[in-house]
Amino acid sequence: MYEDVTQHLNYLETFSAWNSLAKFVVVFASSSGIVSNKVVQQILSDMWKWKILNVVVLVQKRVNAAQKNDTGSEISLMTWFPYALPFICDKLQGAVVLNSWVSQGEKGIFRYNTSLFPNKISRNLKGCTLRVGTTNFHPFVSLLEAADNYTNFSIDGMDIRTLFCITKYLNMVVKILPNSDTNPWGLKLENGTWTGMSGDLTYNKIDIAVAGWADNLRDHLIFGVTKRYFTDMAKWYVPRAKPYPHWLGIIRVFEPNFWAALFLALSISSVFLRLISIKKFRNLAEETVRYSNILSCISDLWSMIISAPIPVLPQSAIFRFFFIFWLVYSFVVSTLFQTYVTSLLVDPGIEHQIASVEELIGSNLEFFLMRFLANYVDEQLLEKLFLKEILDTPVACLESAVKSGNAVTLLSKTFIMDSANKPEFKNKVFPLYGFRENFMEFHLVFVFKKSDPLIEIFDDIILHLVEAGLPAQFMREVTSSNERTSQMYTTEYEEVSIFHLLSAFVLITVSWGISILIFLIEILIPHVKGLLFKT
């Protein structure tokens, strides 16, 4: 008899319309009409393995009619109620008669005016234990002070606080069972077995999985999931562009094209100044002597650019006209340079930042991808990217990307923001940069075994928690408890210090060194020439 029920359930489970939350009626076709309570209990227990709770077993027995001498029949409708007794919980202790159908002749009546499929689980579960599978995944779950393979620990996190709200309302005792597998969320192996928390659910080692679990199609088909209680975003994260050295601040005032145009203008103007100093334009010997040397022309024009005086004032009209135009040009260049050089000395800026998928494709960066998110990345995009490795956890993806220094990854926005608060990034610039656009959004859920009757109760409570904004508040509290201390590039004002002006001092020192060297060469050249002539 037991085998018949199991065979029927195995057969029904193969149908796509299978639903263990449906209403089931078990009818005994017994010639003797005698079915013991032990048999009923065994059948109810077997059906509970499929999480079938809305079930009644029809058991027929003979009764003597009260007013007549004939014999009537009575059909008892038997079922059971989980979580009815403290600490008994979901263990079947005995079947109870829910109602009875008494027939006399062609007529009959129910003894009690009650529903045949009542709500069997109350909102007070009388201290029953809820076995919770989880793993360390901050800020959703934080296992603190862990030692001896998680035998002694304290626990916190947004998921845990949300779960505790529910279990406190339901009067349940939480038993935390940390999972330390390589992939704690679990996956199905080639031999058909499951690992991680998915395996713990499948093999009835835990009742619920809680660890920043993202809703997905696989879990809807194989397990039971609650309503979503938090929405997160997945973003592309690439190496943060490196800042330019402070000494480049002086050069980066202008674009390279402008510097090239400036020196080209200086060269052409020097040649032109030399040309107008030929004999047919000579009026004053002093000007002629000064600008007959091309180096003197370059020196005077450069002096005007840096707002330095020139040794000989122009006297003739042609020289004055030329110098007026060059003075205006030098004034514009000098003003722009002095306007921006200080800000660039303080903040020299950063190199080009990859900020789009189009730039990512041609960047030749290594790509570390989490196994869960690999299902959502377009295959054509994967072919264009240099996929280095598919990893099991977001922590492994983050560590690999940071260690590589030349890698891109796809991770949770909340996870990255919290990871930036880790001690290794304290007072440092976080090495990864997230795109402005989100890649996708995903929803966090609790995972039960398929068709667990607690799902409906959890859904109702989660709906109220989300409406009250409690999960979002828990997330703010968890993340604000470890406020971000790593530095980020900013546009706020910053005080100028000696460090910021170091490049300017170095440039001045180098210029002085070159000037002294040229001065010494000018002094030594006549002496060297004299020695050469004597020899």
φ/ψ of 191, rounded to 5, equals: -85, 5
Contact 33, 64 (CB under 8 A): no
Residue closest to 120 by CA, chosen among 165, 84, 164, 95? 84
CB contact set of 77 (below 8 Å; sequence gap of 6+): 56, 57, 58, 97, 98, 99, 100, 101, 116
Helix (H, G, I), strand (E, B) or coil at 23: coil
pLDDT at 491 over 60: no
* pLDDT tier at 173, thresholds 50, 70, 90: very high
Sign of CA dihedral 433, 439, 440, 445: negative
| pLDDT for the residue numbered 210 | 96
* pLDDT tier at 2, thresholds 50, 70, 90: low
**pTM assigned to the model:** 0.74
Q: Comparing 400-404, 450-454, 503-507, which segment has the lowest mean pLDDT?
A: 503-507
CB contact set of 344 (below 8 Å; sequence gap of 6+): 249, 250, 252, 253
What percentage of the chain exceeds 70 in pLDDT?
86
Please give the biggest Cα pair distance in the chain.
Answer: 159
The domain locations on the chain are 2-110, 128-229, 246-348
Overall average pLDDT of the 489-494 stretch: 50
CA pair distance 40, 96, nearest whole angstrom = 10
96: left (phi over 0), alpha (psi -120 to 50) or beta: beta
Residue closest to 350 by CA, chosen among 427, 419, 417, 429? 429
CA pair distance 232, 212, nearest whole angstrom = 10
Residue-wise pLDDT for 508-534, tens only, equals 888 888 888 988 888 888 877 777 776
Please, what is the Cα angle at 231 between 154 and 157, to 5 degrees? 10
CATH 3.60.40.10 fits 128-229, yes or no: no
| pLDDT for the residue numbered 363 | 81
Overall average pLDDT of the 207-218 stretch: 93
Helix (H, G, I), strand (E, B) or coil at 253: helix
| pLDDT for the residue numbered 527 | 79
Rounded to the nearest angstrom, the gap between the alpha carbon of residue 302 and the centroid of all alpha carbons in its chain is: 54
Residue closest to 140 by CA, chosen among 200, 210, 209, 208? 210
Task: Name the residue with higher pLDDT: 120 or 351.
Answer: 120
pLDDT at 336 over 90: no
Contact 319, 287 (CB under 8 A): yes
CA pair distance 105, 503, nearest whole angstrom = 109
Overall average pLDDT of the 77-83 stretch: 90
Sign of CA dihedral 342, 347, 350, 356: negative
| pLDDT for the residue numbered 194 | 94
> What is the end-to-end Cα distance of the chain in Å, rounded?
128
Mind spelling out the 3-state secondary structure of 342-364? HHHHHCCCECCCCCCHHHHHCCC
Q: What Rg, from alpha-carbon coordinates, does the chain have?
A: 41
Residue-wise pLDDT for 240-293, tens only, equals 888 777 667 777 778 889 989 999 999 999 888 888 877 545 555 556 667 777
* pLDDT tier at 489, thresholds 50, 70, 90: very low
Q: Comparing 246-250, 374-378, 443-447, which segment has the lowest mean pLDDT?
A: 246-250
Q: Comparing 112-116, 146-150, 372-376, 399-403, which segment has the lowest mean pLDDT?
A: 146-150
| pLDDT for the residue numbered 409 | 92
Overall average pLDDT of the 125-134 stretch: 92
| pLDDT for the residue numbered 230 | 96
pLDDT at 31 over 60: no
pLDDT at 65 over 60: no
Q: What length does the chain have? A: 535
* pLDDT tier at 485, thresholds 50, 70, 90: very low
